[in-house]
Amino acid sequence: MQAIAKQAEELSLDVFAIQESWTDEGRALLLAGLREIGLKHAWHNPEAAGGSGLMLISRHPLGEARFQRFRLSGLPERIDHGDYFSGKGAVVITIDTPAGPVDFLDTHLVAHYTPETIDTYFGHRVGQVIEIAELLSPSDRPVVALGDFNVRESGPEYPILKGLSGLVDSAVELDRRFDTILAPHPYREIDHRSRIDYVWTRDGLGTAARVQQLERAFDAPLSFDGVDAAYSDHAGLVAEIVFSPAPSARAWPGADEPALALAREALEQGRTLAKTRRGTLRAGAAAGLAGVAVCAAGSRLTRREWLRRSLWLGAGLSAVGGSAALGLAEVFGNDELAALNELEAVLGSLRRPG
């Protein structure tokens, strides 16, 4: 965190968007260093688990923050992934810049965890894209959207995000596509490179937002006491953005039909996966309850004390596993399907008039 703050001073940043800042200690270290270089205004969400991992720090005063926790953000049984418990969402904060008020969004979408053909979290990620578009839809101010979107330019979520929100990918506009996941890397075992972190912009009513320059930063190797290290497991992006009066600039009119169609298709895929997963959990619950019955019956048919105790232990474990599977199926499974239906209703509110 101290190294990040020192690098930020050399870059002369005005606004700094952070993701995966999970601890009070880490945030305090970073903010202490940033305040010394004039970045005195900061936001994070103390009500979300780990503060949602998001922080937005600015040289200029921050206005009201609108944070929205994602309706869907991973699976509760995948504790090893952690997304479900991390309070992930998106925040929009209006910053009073010298060029006028600008809406800044900071976010972190659910990750790709496996190279499987079927992406378990595809429906969740598209749902999060829909919620980002929903958050930005009322704004007629210029927009800058920053963060770890966990979306690849070649992936289906990319055109959905663009078409629902009107955001412009600055790396494409400037032909400055930088990988932000790097390998080899001290904090990442997978030998993989990709571009999943973005600086997006959108014009406001009467104000144009143009990225003049885009560079990769926070990507140099570090060493702490002789141990190889890095600023983060992601490289950062630094953009120089100019906001200027433009009478022809219009506020975003709403989502286009191709993006709406792709989003509806993605939500339907999400529903199919959710129903399949709920069915598998129900089957697991039934198997667990059957195991209770078998173990209980077996314990009554044996006179061996050690075997009777083993069978009762098996019955208890089957009951716990079956109950957990049933709870996941009937509580989370139903909530997941309800959220996917809500998100489809949100799409209707994003549609472009006429």
- For residue range 257-282, list pLDDT tens digits in order: 999 999 999 999 988 887 787 767 56
Half-sphere exposure of 286 (CA within 13 A, CB side): 6
- Give the DSSP H or E segment for 262: helix 257-301
- 102 shares its domain with 164: yes
- 140 shares its domain with 108: yes
- 295 shares its domain with 189: no
Q: What share of the chain is helix, strand, coil (3-state, %, to 5)?
A: 40, 25, 35
Residue 159 sits in a domain whose CATH number is: 3.60.10.10
Q: What are phi and psi of 201, to 5 degrees?
A: -135, 165
The last residue of one of the domains, among 251, 280, 310, is 251
- 241 shares its domain with 277: no
60 pLDDT more than 90: yes
Query: Domain tally for the chain?
Result: 2
- 54 shares its domain with 156: yes
User: Residue 324 has which token pair?
Assistant: 């957990």
The last residue of one of the domains, among 229, 251, 273, is 251
The last residue of one of the domains, among 223, 251, 279, is 251
- 143 shares its domain with 271: no
- 232 shares its domain with 270: no
Question: pLDDT grade, residue 317 (50/70/90)?
Answer: very low
Question: pLDDT grade, residue 300 (50/70/90)?
Answer: low
The size of the chain, in residues, is 354
- List the domain range (segments joined by +) for residue 46: 2-251
Query: What pLDDT is stored for residue 205 in this prediction?
Result: 95
- 246 shares its domain with 264: no
- For residue range 326-348, list pLDDT tens digits in order: 455 555 667 888 889 999 999 99
Contact at 8 Å (CB) between 75 and 113? Answer: no
Q: What percent of the chain has pLDDT over 70?
A: 81
Query: What pLDDT is stored for residue 282 in this prediction?
Result: 63
- 53 shares its domain with 162: yes
- 231 shares its domain with 269: no
Torsion of CA 71, 73, 77, 81, to 10 degrees: -170
- 237 shares its domain with 288: no
Sign of torsion over alpha carbons 6, 10, 15, 20: negative
- 332 shares its domain with 239: no
Lowest mean pLDDT among 42-56, 101-115, 143-157, 166-180: 42-56
Question: pLDDT grade, residue 134 (50/70/90)?
Answer: very high
As a whole number of angstroms, the distance between CA 296 and CA 312 comes to: 6
